[in-house]
């Protein structure tokens, strides 16, 4: 008798309308380029989601059974305009942000995204430096847009790619999109000068862990940094279970058995990826072979030096990838708040920050516990 499987039904809790109360005004905070939270973490990295839409239906992010044809996306009027995004970003830069990453959903689906990049590329830090301006994409539209993105001022891209085997990749994106088109997009980005390019592979046990070594072999010596990300319990729609997580230590072990690795120092404070370089015959890092990274967001929390804030598509500020609610900056902007008031509000929000979700979660992971009401990754980006 053929076994019948009951379709997985996961309720999606819409957290988009939930907001946190703004901190009491208190004393005015003026931007000095140095803002510290309750755990002495500086504000250095701003991730901006420009759309909640995506043309993929990856089961770890926007599973098709939840984000189906009846799913209600945000209306265009709810989205921050490019001018609003730039105004908010300018205040963050005054507070010390040095890097801005555009995310989604799939950010290249946002019409005229090049115009936003042009505006952000004009911003300067208090010291007069240009920002590290980057974008994360699934690569589906990259081949046709790479040159325009570079011309607009984008410096580099990170491409999500969960396997090289076409059948595996089509299964993971769940819209039958061929891997060859993503690889063509990566090559177009390289030719356009959008580098150094990084590739993010989410590893889900039972789905694509057999693609770890083929991916490592393919990108070794290419000048592209391949990073392996543990399958995360972001949001509540992906049916996350700890059994689906392949620890980064196992990823490193598998690669090292065939392609010897040597651990490298972090490239900068707050770096999420642990770096491993390919070794030469003497056991030293061979720079011509490059490196990989592992992001152990489940098994090895890195809250201690997290310096990232996230701005959602409709202007809510989230202080942690695993947060359930955010602070409404859009209302401040659309109510024509003075720049000094916006500056002070963001300053108080960051100074009050005490988030350490991954550290506290790592101490007690329980698959049987009800899913917490956390915002979806497709809404605030990875």
Where are the domains positioned within the chain? Answer: 40-380
The pair phi, psi for residue 279, each rounded to 5°, is -95, 150
Res 20 pLDDT > 50:
yes
Res 247 pLDDT > 70:
yes
Residue 24's pLDDT is 65
Res 65 pLDDT > 90:
no
Please state, in angstroms and rounded to a whole number, the distance separating the CA atoms of residues 204 and 243.
9
Q: Which long-range contacts (CB under 8 A, 24 or more apart) does 108-112 make?
A: 108/135, 108/137, 108/140, 108/141, 108/142, 108/145, 109/51, 109/53, 109/54, 109/55, 109/141, 110/50, 110/51, 112/82
Please state, in angstroms and rounded to a whole number, the distance separating the CA atoms of residues 166 and 177.
9
Distances (CA, A) of 267 to 178, 200, 264: 33, 17, 9
Residues 6+ apart with CB under 8 A from 24: 348
Res 26 pLDDT > 90:
no
Residue 370's pLDDT is 45
Could you tell me if 164 and 208 are in contact, meaning their C-beta atoms sit under 8 angstroms apart?
no
Other Cβ atoms within 10 Å of 363 Cβ, number = 8
Please state, in angstroms and rounded to a whole number, the distance separating the CA atoms of residues 283 and 281.
6
Q: Which tens digit of pLDDT belongs to each residue from 326-339?
A: 999 999 999 999 99
Residue 13's pLDDT is 44
Percent over 70 (pLDDT), the chain: 85
Res. 4 pLDDT band, cuts 50 70 90:
very low
Please state, in angstroms and rounded to a whole number, the distance separating the CA atoms of residues 14 and 373.
9
CATH topology classification for 40-380:
TIM Barrel (3.20.20)
Res. 22 pLDDT band, cuts 50 70 90:
confident
Nearest CA among 70, 141, 77, 68 for reference residue 104: 141
Task: Give the torsion through C-alpha atoms of 34, 37, 43, 45, to 10 deg.
Answer: 180
Percent over 90 (pLDDT), the chain: 71
Res 286 pLDDT > 80:
yes
Res. 233 pLDDT band, cuts 50 70 90:
low
Residue 5's pLDDT is 36
Residue 60's pLDDT is 83
Please state, in angstroms and rounded to a whole number, the distance separating the CA atoms of residues 143 and 182.
8
Q: DSSP labels for 205-262?
A: TTTTGGGHHHHHHHHTTTTPEEEEEEPP--SSSS---GGGB--HHHHHHHHHHHS-EE
Burial of 8 (0-12, 13-18, 19+ CB in 10 A): exposed
* Stretch among 19-33, 168-182, 227-241 having the lowest mean pLDDT: 227-241
Nearest CA among 247, 381, 238, 246 for reference residue 320: 381
Please state, in angstroms and rounded to a whole number, the distance separating the CA atoms of residues 191 and 174.
29
Please state, in angstroms and rounded to a whole number, the distance separating the CA atoms of residues 34 and 26.
19
Other Cβ atoms within 10 Å of 2 Cβ, number = 4
58-72, 87-101, 347-361: range with highest mean pLDDT: 87-101
Averaged pLDDT, 56-62: 88
Please state, in angstroms and rounded to a whole number, the distance separating the CA atoms of residues 97 and 238.
31
Averaged pLDDT, 249-257: 97
Helix (H, G, I), strand (E, B) or coil at 133: strand
Both tokens assigned to 119 = 């505006």
Residue 8's pLDDT is 41
Q: Which tens digit of pLDDT belongs to each residue from 70-81?
A: 999 999 999 999
* Stretch among 38-42, 304-308, 341-345 having the lowest mean pLDDT: 304-308
Res 303 pLDDT > 90:
no
Averaged pLDDT, 264-275: 85
Higher per-residue pLDDT: 155 or 18: 155
pTM of the model: 0.89
Nearest CA among 111, 106, 8 for reference residue 66: 8
Res 368 pLDDT > 50:
no
Q: How many alpha carbons fall within 13 Å on the CB side of residue 148? A: 13
Could you tell me if 325 and 376 are in contact, meaning their C-beta atoms sit under 8 angstroms apart?
no
Res 264 pLDDT > 80:
yes
Higher per-residue pLDDT: 372 or 65: 65
Helix (H, G, I), strand (E, B) or coil at 275: strand
Averaged pLDDT, 114-129: 98
The answer to whether the peptide bond before residue 94 is cis (omega within 30 degrees of 0) is: no
* Stretch among 122-126, 233-237, 254-258 having the lowest mean pLDDT: 233-237
């Amino acid at each position: 008798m053929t076994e019948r499987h009951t379709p997985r039904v996961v309720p999606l809790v819409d957290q988009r309308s939930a907001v946190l109360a703004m901190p009491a005004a208190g004393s005015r905070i003026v931007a000095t380029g140095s803002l510290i939270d309750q755990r002495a973490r500086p504000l250095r990295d701003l991730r901006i989601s420009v759309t909640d839409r995506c043309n993929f239906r990856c089961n770890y992010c926007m599973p098709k059974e939840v984000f189906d044809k009846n799913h209600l996306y945000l209306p265009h009027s709810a989205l921050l305009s490019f001018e609003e995004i730039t105004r908010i970003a300018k205040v963050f830069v005054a507070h010390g942000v040095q890097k801005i990453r555009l995310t989604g959903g799939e950010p290249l689906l946002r019409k005229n995204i090049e115009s936003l990049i042009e505006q952000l590329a004009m911003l300067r830090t208090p010291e007069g430096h240009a920002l590290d301006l980057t974008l994360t994409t699934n690569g589906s539209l990259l081949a046709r847009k790479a040159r325009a993105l570079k011309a607009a001022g984008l410096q580099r891209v990170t491409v999500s790619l969960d396997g090289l085997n076409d059948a595996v990749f089509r299964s993971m994106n769940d819209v039958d999109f061929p891997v060859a088109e993503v690889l063509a997009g990566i090559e177009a980005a390289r030719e356009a000068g959008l580098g150094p390019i990084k590739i993010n592979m989410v590893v889900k046990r039972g789905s694509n862990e057999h693609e770890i070594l083929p991916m490592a072999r393919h990108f070794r010596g290419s000048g592209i940094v391949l990073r392996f990300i543990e399958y995360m319990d972001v949001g509540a729609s992906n049916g996350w279970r700890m059994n689906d997580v392949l620890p980064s230590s196992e990823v490193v072990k598998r690669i090292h058995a065939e392609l010897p690795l040597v651990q490298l120092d972090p490239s900068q404070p707050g770096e999420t990826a642990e770096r491993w370089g390919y070794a030469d015959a003497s056991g030293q890092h061979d720079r011509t072979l490059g490196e990989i990274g592992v992001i152990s967001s489940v098994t090895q929390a890195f809250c201690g030096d997290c310096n990232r804030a996230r701005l959602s598509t409709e202007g809510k500020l989230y202080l942690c990838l695993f947060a359930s609610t955010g602070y409404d900056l859009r209302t401040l902007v659309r109510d024509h708040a003075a720049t000094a008031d916006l500056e002070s509000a963001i300053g108080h929000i960051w100074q009050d920050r005490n988030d350490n979700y991954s550290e506290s979660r790592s101490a007690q992971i329980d698959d049987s516990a009800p899913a917490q009401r956390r915002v979806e990754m497709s809404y605030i980006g990875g």
